[in-house]
Amino acid sequence: MKTKRSSYVFVTVCLAALLIVSMLVAGCTSNGTTNSVPATASTTPAATAAPAAAQATAAATATQATSAAASSGQTLTLTGSTTVLPIAQAVADAYMANNSNVNIQVSGGGSGVGIQAIINQKVDIGMSSADVSAAQKAQDSQMNIITIAHDGIAIIVNPANTVQDISLDQVKAIYNGSVTSWTSLGGAGVPNSNNQIVLVGRDSSSGTRTYFDQVVMQNTNDSLTMHEDNSNGAVLQEVAQTPNAIGYISIGYLDNTVKALPIVTTNGHVIVPSVATVKDKTYPIHRDLYMITNGKPTGLANDYINYLLSPAGQQIVVAQGYVALNS
């Protein structure tokens, strides 16, 4: 009996220890949330990749945004494309900084999930990087599609690659498997390697893939040896650590771990993928990004989208590396 009692004491102590630890973690629940909110807001300017200019404008429009937020203490939900997610999140951060009671929840999942969530009326705003199909539109006659930004798709290679530029025909030949070596493009290819091209693309339900298949592949088939990753970031990561890789990502994701190849057009111009070339539509692989609502947006959703479409919101779009709507 004695052993039994001490056993109980032991279990109790163990459980208590666990409880205390979780309390410690969750203990910040009460003061943590209240503390963290203003702190979050104040760290945003310092930490974001956004240029100070964008932040300044965001702050300048604070009054504008605040006046719009008669709808305080509400929750706005956004779901969908991971390509649109960085814009939605950054705009949400700026919007929430000026409206301390508003909670904006952003989740990924993919364009398909975003559109379905709108059809099921489970979310306030759906995000999509792909055109909404006729079948999807047919399921929701109220569906309201808003273009919120332009985007270019950059062809990326590893920095070790010596290839300087590329034509869309070459890209197509690489992705359909007829060109398999970097040296076939002329030049030194990738030094200290066998020059065998590693194809990296997106999964077959990605909006970026759909668009790439239409515009670059002209609806011919991708090689089956293509590695399929499920996000822009994963493609970036793989190309950055694989010397022989080629990939394609939204220009919003470009950074110095990869090299974005300029495109040689049919009339011999060499066009660098950039905000400017996407904006004037000289860069050949560009598309639109969408937010989708059920009927005309109202209340907080309307405020949020208006803020996103305002000059301040479009500054944030630029700060995230995407292309603002023509202004």
* 140 forms part of the interface with another protein (CB under 8 A): no
Q: Within 194-223, which residues bind another protein (CB under 8 A)?
A: 194, 196-198, 203-207, 209-210, 213, 219-222
Rule CB under 8 A: choose which of 48, 61, 294, 314 binds another protein. 48
Which among 295, 302, 291 is positioned nearest to 121, based on CA atoms? Answer: 295
* 224 forms part of the interface with another protein (CB under 8 A): yes
Residue with tokens 């364009």: 111
Q: Within 61-90, which residues bind another protein (CB under 8 A)?
A: 75, 77, 79, 82, 85-86, 89-90
What is the strand order of the sheet 270-271 is part of?
166-167, 263-264, 270-271
Query: What is the x/- site pattern for another protein, positions 170-189, by CB under 8 A?
Result: --------------------
Rule CB under 8 A: choose which of 134, 135, 267, 326 binds another protein. 135
CB 144 within 8 A of CB 292: yes
CB 77 within 8 A of CB 88: no
User: Please, what is the minimum distance in Å from the beta carbon of residue 268 to another protein?
Assistant: 30
Q: Which stretch in 58-66, 114-122, 142-150, 305-313 sits in contact with another protein by CB under 8 A?
A: 114-122
- Comparison of 37 and 271: residue with beta carbon closer to another protein: 37
* 236 forms part of the interface with another protein (CB under 8 A): yes
Direct distance between the N- and C-terminal alpha carbons of the chain, in angstroms, rounded to an integer = 82
* 273 forms part of the interface with another protein (CB under 8 A): no
- Comparison of 237 and 282: residue with beta carbon closer to another protein: 237
- Comparison of 18 and 270: residue with beta carbon closer to another protein: 18
DSSP state letters, 34-74? HHHHHHHHHHHHHHSSS-HHHHHHHHHTHHHHHHHTTSTT-
* 108 forms part of the interface with another protein (CB under 8 A): yes
Q: In Å, what is the CA distance from 144 to each residue of 38, 269, 277?
A: 34, 38, 29
- Comparison of 38 and 280: residue with beta carbon closer to another protein: 38
Which among 122, 61, 49, 140 is positioned nearest to 94, based on CA atoms? Answer: 61
Which among 134, 123, 60, 128 is positioned nearest to 97, based on CA atoms? Answer: 60
